[in-house]
Structure 1
Amino acid sequence: MTINFRYVNVDISETLNAFTEEKLSKLSNRYEFLIGATVRFKHDENSHSKGKICDIELSLPGPRLFATSDEAKYEVAVRETISDLEKQLKKRKEVYKTH
């Protein structure tokens, strides 16, 4: 699975890239039909409590899956976003099983 990282109003972080790749590789091992992922990290300066946004879009056969989360830390946002994507992938896998 190929992973593309995009940073919007945020400095590039190799440790954040490695953390996200590790989490996404677990998904890739569990769901072999994944093709790629686009990960966007954003910083919302208008949000005082949170403001660290992680968007992940997964490419796979059929419609793409997308999830986003807004947390106080990027690592927490990554975990929350991947958790949301995993729920969507479980539903999608059930569809593949019926065919």
Structure 2
Amino acid sequence: MKVNAQSVNFNADVKLINFLQSRMDKLENVYDKVISSDVYLKVENTSSKENKIVEIKVNVPRNKFVVKKQCKSFEEAVDSACNSLERKLIKRKEKLRLHA
């Protein structure tokens, strides 16, 4: 799957991008009609420890899913966002089965 990753206010290292790509590839096991995905990695300038924000937009035919998570680390946020996306994609798949 094509993953467009953008980091805001910092430079993402290769390990983070590879982790992101491998985690997003697992979404294709759940729902194989994913067209593309955009991932925005942001660091918020606040005093709280949970200042890492991950926003993922996934394009599927005739629909778009957006998930935004804020955690202590990018890995945790990506994991949480991908879990939410998996649930949404499974729901979409079930809905399509019922109407087919």
Q: Which runs of 5+ in 2 are unaligned?
A: none
**What residue is the counterpart of 1:61 in the other structure?**
61
Q: Which runs of 5+ in 1 are unaligned?
A: none
Structure 1 stretches of 4+ moved >4 Å: none
CA distance in 2: counterparts of 1:12 and 1:75, whole angstroms:
12
Deviations 1:4-23 (CA, angstroms, capped at 9, x unpaired):
01111121211111001111
**What residue is the counterpart of 2:50 in the other structure?**
50
CA RMSD of aligned residues (A): 1.0
**What residue is the counterpart of 1:89 in the other structure?**
89
Against the structure 1 CA distance between its residues 24 and 8, is the aligned structure 2 distance closer, same or farther, given a 3 Å change threshold? Answer: same
TM-score relative to the length of structure 2:
0.93
Alignment of 1:7-86 (within 5 A): 7-86=7-86
Name whichever of 76-85 and 47-56 sits farther off: 47-56
Against the structure 1 CA distance between its residues 53 and 27, is the aligned structure 2 distance closer, same or farther, given a 3 Å change threshold? Answer: same
CA distance in 1: counterparts of 2:90 and 2:47, whole angstroms:
32
Against the structure 1 CA distance between its residues 35 and 10, is the aligned structure 2 distance closer, same or farther, given a 3 Å change threshold? Answer: same
- Number of residue pairs the alignment of both structures matches: 99
CA distance in 2: counterparts of 1:67 and 1:90, whole angstroms:
15
CA distance in 2: counterparts of 1:86 and 1:72, whole angstroms:
21
Check the 8 A contact 2:50/2:71 in 1, yes or no.
yes
Match of 1:79, SS?
Answer: helix
Query: Percent of pairs identical after alignment?
Result: 28
Deviations 1:41-72 (CA, angstroms, capped at 9, x unpaired):
00011251200011100010122001011000
CA distance in 2: counterparts of 1:39 and 1:47, whole angstroms:
24
